[in-house]
């Protein structure tokens, strides 16, 4: 099946409705760009498992230096996806809110469903 219309027929009412309701998605694109990096996504996913983690523990989980982990955490924090708190000599990070938690867990569930569906398709 071709994934293209065989005729060009624009539906003006549909187009106008969508254009009228379109939002500026610049910040949303920035959010997804931040999570598109596998290391940062791994960090965010780790923070769905353990609500708060210090930089050293995150570095150990992702198999990197604390400097690399700190760089990625700062990137997530600057985009509003993570927050931090200093406790004595250590800095602890968590996801900024339940929306970030939901984005990461829903995306993970969706990917797992896609894997299951792909296995069900006969070759």
Whether 24 maps to a domain, the answer reads no
Whether 18 maps to a domain, the answer reads no
Whether 16 maps to a domain, the answer reads no
Whether 90 maps to a domain, the answer reads yes
| CATH number, residue 44 | 1.10.10.10
Residue in the block written with tokens 């800095």: 91
pLDDT band at 32 (very low <50, low <70, confident <90, very high): very high
What does pTM read for this prediction? 0.84
Range of the domain at 69: 31-120
What was the pLDDT predicted at 7?
84
Whether 3 maps to a domain, the answer reads no
Among 40-44, 67-71, 118-122, the minimum mean pLDDT is found in 118-122
How many domains are there within the chain?
1
* pLDDT at position 50 over 60: yes
What was the pLDDT predicted at 5?
81
DSSP secondary structure letter of residue 3: S
Q: How many CA atoms lie within 13 A of 116 on its CB side?
A: 6
């Amino acid at each position: 099946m071709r994934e293209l219309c065989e005729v060009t027929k624009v539906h003006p009412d549909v187009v106008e409705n969508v254009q009228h309701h379109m939002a500026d998605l610049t910040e949303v694109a920035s959010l997804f760009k931040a999570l598109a990096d596998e290391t940062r996504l791994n960090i965010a996913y780790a923070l769905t498992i353990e609500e708060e983690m210090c930089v050293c523990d995150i570095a150990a989980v992702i198999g990197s230096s604390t400097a690399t982990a700190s760089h990625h955490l700062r990137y997530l924090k600057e985009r509003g996806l993570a927050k931090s708190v200093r406790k004595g000599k250590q800095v602890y990070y968590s996801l900024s809110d339940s929306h970030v938690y939901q984005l990461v867990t829903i995306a993970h569930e969706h990917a797992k469903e896609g894997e299951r569906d792909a296995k069900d398709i006969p070759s």
